[in-house]
Copies of this chain bind each other. A is one copy, B any other.
Amino acid sequence: MSGPQKEPMFERIALIGIGLIGSSISHASRRSNLAREIVGSARTPATVETAMKLGLIDEGYVTAAEAVEGADLVILCTPVGLCGPIAKEISRSLKPGAILTDVGSVKASIVRDVSPHVPEGVHFVPGHPIAGTEQSGPESGFAELFDSRWCILTPEPHTDGKAVEKLRSFWEALGSKVEIMTPEHHDLVLAITSHVPHLIAYNIVNTAEHLERVTDSEVIKFSAGGFRDFTRIAASDPTMWRDVFLNNKEAVLDMLGRFTEDLTMLQRAIRFGDGETLHRLFTDARAVRRSIIQAGQDTAAPDFGRTHGQTTPSSSAPAKKR
- Report A's interface with B, CB cutoff 8 A: 1, 105, 130-135, 140, 142-145, 147-150, 152, 175, 179, 185, 188-190, 192-211, 213-214, 216, 218-236, 238-239, 241-243, 245-246, 249, 252-253, 255-256, 258-260, 262-263, 266-267, 269-271, 273, 275, 278-279, 281-286, 288-313, 316-320, 322
Stoichiometry, as copies per complex, reads 2
CB nearest to A196 among chain B residues: B204
Task: Report chain B residues within 8 Å CB of A259.
Answer: 203-204, 207
CB-based nearest B residue for A278: B242
CB distance from A20 to the nearest CB of B (A): 9
Q: Is there an interface contact between B202 and A281, defined as CB atoms closer than 8 Å?
A: yes
Q: A150-B221, A227-B192, A234-B288 are in contact. Are A296 and B279 (CB under 8 A)?
A: no
Please, how many angstroms separate the alpha-carbon atoms of A304 and B298 in the complex? Answer: 11
A285 to B242, CA, bound (A): 13
CB-based contact A200/B291 at 8 Å? no
Residue of chain B at shortest CB distance from A301: B317
18 other contacts beyond A130-B221, A132-B224, A203-B262, with CB at 8 A cut-off?
A: A132-B225, A185-B213, A189-B219, A194-B225, A194-B227, A203-B266, A206-B266, A220-B295, A223-B292, A228-B298, A232-B289, A232-B304, A234-B288, A242-B279, A242-B282, A245-B269, A300-B317, A300-B318
Complex Cα gap A199–B270 (Å): 10
Which residue on chain B has the smallest CB distance to residue A310?
A: B148
Q: Contact: B271 with A238, CB < 8 Å?
A: no
